[in-house]
A = this chain, B = another copy of it.
Amino acid sequence: MAAEKAAKAAKQSVAVVGGKKTDDIIGITVKKTENFSAWYQEVVLKAEMIEYYNEISGFFILRPASMYIWATIRKWFQERIEAMDVEEASFPMFLSSKSFEKEKEHVEGFAPELAWVTKAGDKDLEVPIAVRPTSEAVMYPYYSKWIRSHRDLPLRLNQWNSVVRWEAKQTTPFLRAREFLWQEGHTAHLTEDLAGEEVLQILELYAGVYEQLLAVPVVRGRKTDKEKFAGGYYTTTVEGYIPSNGRGIQGATSHCLGQNFSKMFDITVEDPAPKAGEGAKHIHVWQNSWGLSTRVIGVMVMIHGDDKGLVLPPRIAKLQVIIIPVGINKNTSAEDRTKHYDQLQELKGTLKKAGVRNDYDLRDGYTPAWKFNDWELKGVPLRLEYGPKDAAQSVVSFARRDTGEKGTIALSALATEIPALLEKIQADMYAKADASFRSHRLVLTEWDKVVPALDSKNVVVIPHCLQEKCEDQIKESTKGAPDEMEGPAELRAPSMGMKSLCIPFEQPEGIVKGETKCLNPQCGALAEKWCMFGRSY
């Protein structure tokens, strides 16, 4: 409820006073540590990343501030999959209800969330059609048609589109929306090895989006059978962590579908290397699918943002540097003012030439302080202040958005120092988030420490049997007891039971095969792997 109130307040922050529109920025009214979800909703609204689509609940408008980030990610990822010979395609957004018959297990998971078109114009459709929640059932009949020989392999197609999943749960900008943008790659290979190799290549690209672009650390791993993609063979994942509430969050997943779908959709090739003495044999192809969505933007906001608003990593900031004139006032002569503005123009040009995305803020009628707040709210990584005093010393003053650190840089060194400083900000933001995730990823060997660890906003890495039944037990037995926790609800760790997030590829030492037991005291089975668990989104 508090979150809703804050969102409402944010929406109304543009007040119409006496019929006149005002430009007052109220700024973020909720502290990140006090009410995290209200804070988040205020930030994405006031930084102009998101607008709520009032006409239909659960839908959001992505404004230029967020689409720039998505476009940057798209370009980065697209270049890399193109180099892997993944081609772009575009399949229809609708699925006939007839298409569902082939792949029940996969479909059952999505059925409650399907949006159904039943009418066109004023005529009822003969057969209702669903808006795609994902495109396996749209695409694979054609894979069956197009793949005629092993020479047609690998077939690797990707599309950038939006999908619709009519979530019943509370929606949240970027993290859970009824329509979201993503890419979905669907590939077919001759062998399990070739498919498996690609699964990991793609996962590494997903990690790259988080780590290299968004300055967000992730843990690479494999999902347990309970948590894998319905109908797939195995799922790999990059998992993130939200320090403010200690919740884990799935970052992006790269699935090996095995031969499950190729059997359902009859996607086969003749064995190019049949065993001696055996006749020609048909092989079902090995398939992968992998997707990355606009969720990444939400994770980035949650991790880096602060009480002043958004904090953007320089590599994905549309505006990396904002230049604000200071020390110019009513007493400044017209001549001095013109001269100063010419210098600002030059500054802007110098930075542009150095490849820095920058602008200056010459808006009349606002104080420098107001402008500082405005650009801080919007997350611009670096502010440059330039006034007559700076000019006299041939320097500019700077203020880092991430740390607040201030200093000066010689005008003569701008073209090298500013790009270097931006890269330093990027690296520092990652390092800070990484340190936070590492210190809240507790490797535990005593069950009694698990729930207290969760209550202190940690995720845990524990020896586990990897059995679904055991995961169900764990989820039940790790529910928090909110009544026993101190302080208002907004400040507490979430109280839901923990889920397995992934089996990290990087395994700690210490599990002795055939000896170490699963940490769940109700289980008693042997531990297979260290598994990361957490309360999660």
Seen from chain A, the residues whose Cβ lies within 8 Å of a Cβ on chain B are 14, 20-21, 23, 51, 53-56, 59-64, 67-68, 70-71, 87-96, 98-99, 111-122, 128-129, 131, 138, 141-142, 145-146, 148-149, 151, 157, 161-162, 164, 166, 168, 179, 181, 270, 363
B117 x A121 contact (CB < 8 A): no
Cα distance A257–B228 when bound, in Å?
50
Among A14, A20, A117, A118, the one with the most B-chain Cβ atoms within 10 Å of its Cβ is A117
Cα distance A95–B179 when bound, in Å?
13
| Given A91-B61, A99-B55, A162-B93, A114-B120 contact (CB < 8 Å) | yes
> For residue A14, which residues in chain B have a CB less than 8 angstroms away from its CB?
145, 148
Cα distance A60–B164 when bound, in Å?
20
A55 x B90 contact (CB < 8 A): no
Instruction: Kindly report which residue of chain B lies nearest to residue A60, judged by CB atoms.
Output: B92
> For residue A168, which residues in chain B have a CB less than 8 angstroms away from its CB?
121
Cα distance A438–B90 when bound, in Å?
35
A49 CB to closest chain B CB (Å) equals: 11
Report 20 cross-chain contacts, Cβ distance below 8 Å, ordered by A residue.
A23-B148, A51-B145, A53-B91, A55-B96, A55-B138, A55-B141, A56-B92, A56-B129, A62-B90, A63-B89, A64-B88, A71-B88, A111-B121, A112-B121, A114-B120, A115-B120, A116-B119, A117-B131, A120-B166, A121-B168
| Given A55-B95, A129-B56, A89-B67 contact (CB < 8 Å) | yes
Among A70, A90, A99, A145, the one with the most B-chain Cβ atoms within 10 Å of its Cβ is A90
> For residue A63, which residues in chain B have a CB less than 8 angstroms away from its CB?
89
Chain A, interface SS category? mixed
> For residue A119, which residues in chain B have a CB less than 8 angstroms away from its CB?
115-116, 118, 128
> For residue A151, which residues in chain B have a CB less than 8 angstroms away from its CB?
363
A409 CB to closest chain B CB (Å) equals: 28
B118 x A113 contact (CB < 8 A): no
A98 x B55 contact (CB < 8 A): yes
> For residue A270, which residues in chain B have a CB less than 8 angstroms away from its CB?
20-21
A115 x B114 contact (CB < 8 A): no
| Given A64-B87, A71-B88, A120-B166, A149-B112 contact (CB < 8 Å) | no
Cα distance A154–B21 when bound, in Å?
18
Q: A23-B148, A93-B164, A112-B121 are in contact. List 18 more A-B contacts (CB 8 A).
A: A14-B145, A56-B96, A60-B92, A61-B91, A61-B92, A62-B90, A62-B91, A64-B88, A64-B157, A67-B87, A67-B89, A68-B88, A71-B88, A93-B179, A111-B121, A117-B117, A121-B166, A131-B131
